[in-house]
Amino acid sequence: MATVNNSPTKVLNKFWRIMSGIGVSMLTALMLILAFHPYDVWFLAFFSLVPMLIAQHRILPRKWSGLAPAVGIGGWLFVFLTSMFGGNSAAYVIQIVVVVIIIVQVFTVPGVRRFHEQTGYRWFLLQGIADWVGFEMVRSFIPPINTHAFIAQTMYSQPWMLQPISILSIYGLGIVLMLVNFALAQCALVLFDGKFLDVYGKNHPTSPGEPRIITASVYPVYNTNLGQLATIICNDVHWTNTSRRLALKGAQLIAVPTLETPGCSRTSCSKCAASC
């Protein structure tokens, strides 16, 4: 029977993770508020979601990850829309809608995070764009919210950002802004994890005058669903030591994205030919 470790240290660490995640997510709410009218710090819209996404996927425990958008998105919508509509009857409708949004985020986001963890975050960018822009489409039918607080509205003073609207309406500009936000967030998650793949570089110059590639002498082998994958490019296919070193590092499959593949067939080394 599994035991649950509820030691005071673990509970305290979890508490501080939750508090830290909430605090970081508040940066998103603040930046979104400043990006919109009347503050109009428009450039914040390009990266305002990054703190919230880091908190959602790395700082908060998975079970509590829904607090990140609840604070970041819910806090921004509550402040911005309530201040816009004041104390009239429309404000009450908006507050109810925002509360519903917060509740939905709290209960659904942990599942979204689990999906990204299981799929190696390969759908992170696409899911983020579809989720945000799709939700904007849905809430555009909710009176009196309609298109209020659409992320594209932050760009109203920037004519150079109008081209996506002329092609795909206001949602096109939303796609552009979300593309930048989620791309930056994915880079930030990589930095947060400290995970960088080594880069393969050609080890044997094609001619005596060819400059040395900065990543030469790096023989990376990547762990993939197909097995241990490596690669050879350009003039390296003519040298047996390249494939041999990759094989010694555990390569099971060596890809050859080059037009010089005959180099392997001309060599007298059968091991090189087999590797290629």
pLDDT at 145 over 80: no
Q: What are the structure tokens assigned to 212, written together?
A: 């040395």
Query: Can you spell out the DSSP letters for 177-234?
Result: HHHHHHHHHHHHHHHHHT---------S-SSTTSPPPTTTT----EEETTEEEEE--G
Least confident of 167-176, 218-227, 243-252: 218-227
Beta strands in the chain (DSSP E): 222-224, 227-231, 253-255
What proportion of the chain, given as a percentage, has pLDDT over 70?
91
Q: How far apart are CA 264 and CA 276, in angstroms?
A: 7
pLDDT at 118 over 80: yes
Q: How far apart are CA 27 and CA 33, in angstroms?
A: 10
- Identity of the amino acid at 274: A
pLDDT in tens, 64-76: 999 999 999 999 9
pLDDT at 161 over 90: no
What proportion of the chain, given as a percentage, has pLDDT over 90?
46
pLDDT in tens, 13-28: 899 999 999 999 999 9
Cβ neighbourhood burial of 143 (10 Å; 0-12, 13-18, 19+): exposed
Long-range interactions of 106-109: CB distance < 8 A, separation 24+: 106/66, 106/67, 106/70, 107/66, 108/66, 109/56, 109/65, 109/66, 109/68, 109/69
Model pLDDT, residue 129: 96
pLDDT at 78 over 70: yes
Confidence of residue 179 (pLDDT cuts 50, 70, 90): very high
Model pLDDT, residue 2: 46
Model pLDDT, residue 87: 66
Model pLDDT, residue 84: 81
